[in-house]
Structure 1
Amino acid sequence: MQTYGNPNVTYDWYAGNSRLPSQSGKFIAAHVSHAGLMCFWAGALTLFELARYDASLPMGTQNLILLPHLAGLGIGGIESGAVITESYSITVVAVLHLIVSAVYGAAGLLHSLRYKGDLGDYPEGSRPRKFDFQWDDPDRLTFILGHHLLFLALGCVSFVEWAKYHGIWDSAAGVTRTIRYNLDLGMIWNQQVDFLAIDNLEDVMGGHAFLAFFLSAGAIFHIFTKQFGNYTEFKGKGLLSAEANLAWACAGVGYMALVASFWCSTNSTIYPVELYGDLLKLNFDFAPYFVDTDTSLAEGTFTARAWLSNAHFYLGFFFIQGHLWHALRAMGFDFRRIGQAFDSMDNANPTTSS
C-alpha cells in the first residue's frame, strides 16, 4: 500500500488488508475468510427469509432479496404466480452455504495461525511456495489473474448448463423451463449498448455462453504466457502494487453494482415482476434514488426490487470513489498535500482564519 516514503509503516489490527500486502500467506487467509463470511451471510439470511415467507402474499412485496433469486433459478417448486411450494431444496442450498462457510473459516484460521505468513519463506520447490507472489512480478500476477478468470468462466458455464438441463423461471410463460442459449454473435455485439432492453432468456444465456468462452480464452492466455519484452512504464510497470490491485478490484465491483442496479430497476425479464415487484422510477432529491411504483404497498414496506436497486446503486457509487482514491495513491499522489494546501491558505490569510 502507499506508504508515502516510509518503508517501515505498520498498521493496526483493524486496518484490514492494509496489513497484508507483503505477506502472501496472510493475504490468502484474508481472502478465504472473506469468502467464508459471504457464504455464512447467504446461508443464514436464506433461512431467515424462508422462516418469514408468506405464500399468501406476493413474493416481491415481502422485503426478500435471496428467495427471489433462488426462485428465479427454479428452486423451491415454483408454480404459477411464483409461489414457493416446497422449502426443502431452499433449505438444502442454505445449509450447504453454512457448511461451506465453516470450511472456509477453518481454512482461514489454518492459513492465519498454522502456515507461514509469507509463502516465500517455504523451501524452493515446495508446493506452498508455488502460490507466493510479489507485486512487482508481472509473470506471477498474470498467472494468478488467469486462474481468477478460469473460475469466472466456470461460473458462467454452470449457469448456462443449469438453465439448459434444470431450467429457470420464465416470467413470460409463468413456468420454470429449460433454456437453450442463443449464441448469435451479432446479437451479442449489438446488445452491448442496449443490454437493458434484453427481453428473452435465450439471449441472456447466449451472452453468458459467449462470456464463458471469452473468459476461458483469457484464462489460458494469462496462465500459459509471460510478458513479451521488458515490462516498461508504458505497459504499467509503475502500477504493479497492492494499492493498484485494490483500485482495479473496486472499479470492477463498482461497475458491476451500477449495472445490476439499473438492470434490476428497469428490466422485468431477468428480474420478474412476480419475484421482485413492479418496475421502479428514478427520483432525485438530495441524491438520486429508486422508488416503488406500486401504490398498494403497506406503509414502510418496499419491494425486493427497491432494496436491491438502491443498495447496489449506492454501494457501486462508493466503490467507484474507492477506486479513484486508491488509483490516485497507486499513481503516487500524496493526499496530505490537500491538507497542506489549506494550511498554506490559512497562513497566507491570517485575518480570514481568525
Structure 2
Amino acid sequence: MQTYGNPDVTYDFWAGNSSVTNRSGRFIASHAAHTGMIAFGAGSNTLFEFSRFDPSLPMGDQGLVFLPHLASVGIGFDEAGVWTGAGVVTIAIVHLILSMVYGAGGLMHAIYFPDDMQKSTIAQARKFKLEWNNPDNQTFILGHHLILFGVACIWFVEWARIHGIYDPAVGAVRQVNYNLDLSMIWERQVNFLRIDSLEDVMGGHAFLAFAEITGGAFHVIAGSTKWENKRLGNWSKFKGSEILSAEAILAFSLAGIGWMAIVAAFWCATNTTVYPVEFYGEPLKQVFLIAPAFVDSVDYSNGIAPLAHSGRCYTANFHYIAGFFALQGHIWHALRAMGYNFKDLGAKLRVAAS
C-alpha cells in the first residue's frame, strides 16, 4: 500500500487491504473467506428463488437471477426437456456446505496458520509468499491462477458435451460439441454480443482453456527457475519488477474485474442464446438516466417480478454498476502505485482557488 514516504504508516480498521499487504497468509485467509461468502450467497439465494418459483408461469416473467443460470446450463430438467427443478436444491445445499468449508479455511489461515507463508514449515507453501520486488514470485502465483481458470473452462466444455445445456433454438437441453474454429474465435472478438451458436460458445471456452493452461504452465516454470534471465536477457524488467507492488496488483485486478463485468452487462442485456428469453426475460433497452443504464423492453408490472423488473435487468445493471466502480478503483490504486500522493490534491486545489 502507498505509504507516502513513511515506512511506519498505520491505517484505520476500514483500510482492510493494508492488513494483507505483506502477509501472504492473511491474504489467503481473506480470499478463502470471501469465497465462502460468495458460495453462501449463491446457495441461500437459490433456495429463496426456488421457494417462490411458480413453474406454471414463465421463468423470465418472475424476476429471477440464480435459477435462470442453473436452467441455462441444463440443471432442473428431466430427460424429456421438461422443467422439474431436479438437482436445484442439491446444488444450493452443496454451495452452503462449501461456504462453511471456505469459511473454516479462512479462519484457520487467519488464526492458526502463519500470517506470512515464508514462515511456514512446508516448503511448497513458502513458494506462495508475497515479494513485491520479485517478479518471479508474482509470476509463479499468476501461473497457478491461470491453470485453475483453464481447468474450469474444460469442466464447462465437458459438461456441455456430456450432460448438455439448454438451447433456446430447440427449447430443450441438448449435448453441445465445441467448434474449435480459430477464424471464428478471432472474428468473435469484436461481435461476441451477437453470437447465436452454442457450438461457437463452447469452442471459445475450449480455446481459452488451452491458452490459460499453456500460459499458466509457462508462468509457473518461468516464476520458479532462473532460465529466463540467461536466455532472454533482463527478463525481470520486462515482467515489471520496477512497478510491482501490493497497490499495483490490486489495480491490475480491479481493471480485469471491471472490464469483465461491463462486458457481461452488455452481453446479458442483448444476447438471447447464452441468456435465453425463457429464463431471463426479453432483451433490454439502453438508456441514459442519471448515468447509462439498461431498462426492460416489456412491462413486468404483473405482481410477480420483484419491483417489476426482469432477472435480465437486475443482472445487467448490477454488473454494469459494479464494473464502473471497479474501474474507478483501478484508476485510484494505479495512480497510488505510481507514487501519486492524493493528500497533496487538497493543498493544490486550495492554492488554485486562492
Please report the TM-score for the alignment, with normalisation by the length of structure 1: 0.93
Partner of 2:285: 281
Q: Match for 1:249 among 253, 259, 283?
A: 253
In 1, are the aligned partners of 2:150 and 2:210 still within 8 Å (CA)? yes
Distance 1:313 1:29 in 2: 28
Say whether residues 1:5 and 2:5 are aligned partners: yes
Q: Match for 1:237 among 241, 244, 248?
A: 241
In 2, are the aligned partners of 1:256 and 1:316 still within 8 Å (CA)? yes
In 1, are the aligned partners of 2:300 and 2:309 still within 8 Å (CA)? no
In 2, are the aligned partners of 1:58 and 1:275 still within 8 Å (CA)? yes
The change in CA–CA distance for 1:297 and 1:247 in structure 2 (over 3 A counts) is same
Partner of 1:51: 51
Provide Cα deviations, 1:120-173, integer angstroms capped at 9, x if missing partner: 1235x6343232231111111101000000000011000000000000000010
Q: Match for 1:308 among 312, 315, 318?
A: 315
Partner of 1:352: none
Provide Cα deviations, 1:64-97, integer angstroms capped at 9, x if missing partner: 10100000011011699x863134x111101111
In 1, are the aligned partners of 2:177 and 2:202 still within 8 Å (CA)? yes
The change in CA–CA distance for 1:287 and 1:79 in structure 2 (over 3 A counts) is farther
After superposition, residues 158-237 of structure 1 pair within 5 angstroms as: 158-226=155-223, 227-228=228-229, 229-230=233-234, 235-237=239-241
Partner of 1:261: 265
Q: Match for 1:97 among 95, 98, 122?
A: 95
Aligned length: 344
1:13 counterpart letter in structure 2: F
In 1, are the aligned partners of 2:135 and 2:236 still within 8 Å (CA)? no
Distance 1:112 1:264 in 2: 37
Q: Match for 2:110 among 84, 87, 112?
A: 112
Distance 1:167 1:72 in 2: 10
Say whether residues 1:144 and 2:136 are aligned partners: no
Distance 2:21 2:82 in 1: 48
Distance 1:279 1:79 in 2: 28
Query: How much has 1:334 moved relative to structure 2?
Result: 1.1
The change in CA–CA distance for 1:53 and 1:294 in structure 2 (over 3 A counts) is same
Please report the TM-score for the alignment, with normalisation by the length of structure 2: 0.93
1:322 counterpart letter in structure 2: G
Query: How much has 1:345 moved relative to structure 2?
Result: 2.6
Query: How much has 1:109 moved relative to structure 2?
Result: 0.7
Identity %: 52
Q: Secondary structure at the match of 1:308?
A: helix
Distance 2:250 2:181 in 1: 35
Query: How much has 1:58 moved relative to structure 2?
Result: 1.4
In 2, are the aligned partners of 1:61 and 1:297 still within 8 Å (CA)? no
Q: Which runs of 5+ in 1 are unaligned?
A: 350-354
Query: How much has 1:231 moved relative to structure 2?
Result: 5.2
The change in CA–CA distance for 1:224 and 1:127 in structure 2 (over 3 A counts) is closer
The change in CA–CA distance for 1:143 and 1:235 in structure 2 (over 3 A counts) is closer
Distance 1:333 1:205 in 2: 43
Partner of 2:325: 318
Say whether residues 1:294 and 2:304 are aligned partners: no
Distance 2:70 2:2 in 1: 42
In 1, are the aligned partners of 2:299 and 2:308 still within 8 Å (CA)? no
Instruction: Let me know the Cα RMSD of the aligned residues.
Output: 1.8
